[in-house]
Amino acid sequence: MRIAFQGEMGAFGEAAAERVNREARRVACPTFDSVFEAVGRGPATHGVLPIENSIAGTIHQTYDLLLEHDLSIVGEVEVPVVHHLLAPPGVSLDRVRRIYSHPQALAQCERFLKTLSDVEIVASANTAGAAKRVAEEARPDAAAIASARAGDLFGLVSLAPAIQDFRDNVTRFIVIGRRPLGDSMADKTTVVFSLRNEPGALFKALGVFALRNVNLTKLESRPFRGRPWEYLFYADLAASRDELPCARALQHLAEMAPTLRVLGSYCAWHEHEMKALDPFDVCT
């Protein structure tokens, strides 16, 4: 198995790939789109992409790319996110005047950053890339916000550990591919659909699931590209598409939705699985 992720080695995407399969070869990609390309055309068999953070919310680019590519969601994994302020050996916190990191990471550490003065904040493509840049440039006044693993990989030391605003900071990643992950039974389905612009359309659409006791765990609307002021609805269902209530609900929805696509039916990430893993082995 070869799993593609966005960013450099040491990124939280790599931690997600490791949680999917510790023995898999990990393939670093520069962009989200290139993760899809790596899975669609090779060299990767699967890919991991962030889709939601417990603090910052939805990563909309991932939803948009799911529509552009003919790949299914075959799994998901959750990764606790612990941010560290990293710098080359010998750099002290009071000397830091420039901090690099991904905009999401910067937003998740806003409270800590407000305690610093005379510091320039510089957005980077990813957290591990920021750490790599700080290591390569070896500036005496620069630091990066990234994982401790990134610090270990690039020879940086932690000036301040666990600087994220909230302790329970978790990112959910989807796993994309052309074939399932193992033999686990699917218990979650993600769909996208459009509706006619008429009164009660969304109420009726959601009713097909309520009538059959199919739980919606997430509902997200996104602009319908090429159709101004029209929207697509993404929904996560707590059921396999093959379960009879879910299958009938989707059939009913198809009768009223101009477009409907199942993006994947897969095994959800369960809380007990996260507790069984040591969060400090891959992502702190």
Task: Give the residue extent of every domain in the chain.
Answer: 2-81+169-180+269-281, 84-160, 188-266
Given a cut of 70, whether residue 163 has pLDDT beyond it is: yes
Work out the number of other CB atoms within 10 angstroms of the CB of residue 116.
16
pLDDT (0 to 100) of residue 284: 34
Q: Which residues carry out catalysis?
A: 171, 173
Q: What confidence tens digit (pLDDT) does each residue in 56-107 have?
A: 889 999 999 999 999 999 999 999 999 999 999 999 999 999 999 999 899 9
pLDDT (0 to 100) of residue 182: 77
Six-digit token pair at 4? 């593609």
Instruction: Name the strand (E) or helix (H) holding 236.
Output: strand 231-237
Contact between 72 and 263 (Cβ < 8 Å): yes
pLDDT (0 to 100) of residue 225: 86
Six-digit token pair at 263? 């993006």
Domain with residues 2-81+169-180+269-281, CATH architecture: 3-Layer(aba) Sandwich (3.40)
Distances (CA, A) of 38 to 48, 173, 179, 192: 11, 17, 15, 23
Is 188-266 the same fold as 84-160? no
What is the Cα Rg of the chain in Å? 21
Q: What confidence tens digit (pLDDT) does each residue in 126-135 have?
A: 899 999 999 9
Q: Are strands 25-29 and 2-6 parallel, antiparallel or unpaired?
A: parallel
- Give the contacts of 144 (CB within 8 A, at least 6 positions apart): 85, 86, 87, 99, 100, 101, 124, 127, 130, 131, 133, 134, 150, 156
* Angle between helix 32-41 and helix 60-68 axes, rounded to 10 deg: 30
pLDDT (0 to 100) of residue 138: 94
Given a cut of 90, whether residue 137 has pLDDT beyond it is: yes
Of 265, 248, 9, 283, give the one whose Cα is nearest residue 128: 9
Q: What confidence tens digit (pLDDT) does each residue in 252-283 have?
A: 999 999 999 999 999 999 754 544 333 333 33
Domain with residues 84-160, CATH architecture: 3-Layer(aba) Sandwich (3.40)
At 282 the three-state DSSP class reads coil
Q: What is the 3-state secondary structure (H, E, C) of 138-181?
A: CCCCEEEEECHHHHHHHCCEEEECCCCCCCCCEEEEEEEECCCC
Assign domain 188-266 to a CATH class. alpha beta
Of 128, 131, 254, give the one whose Cα is nearest residue 191: 254
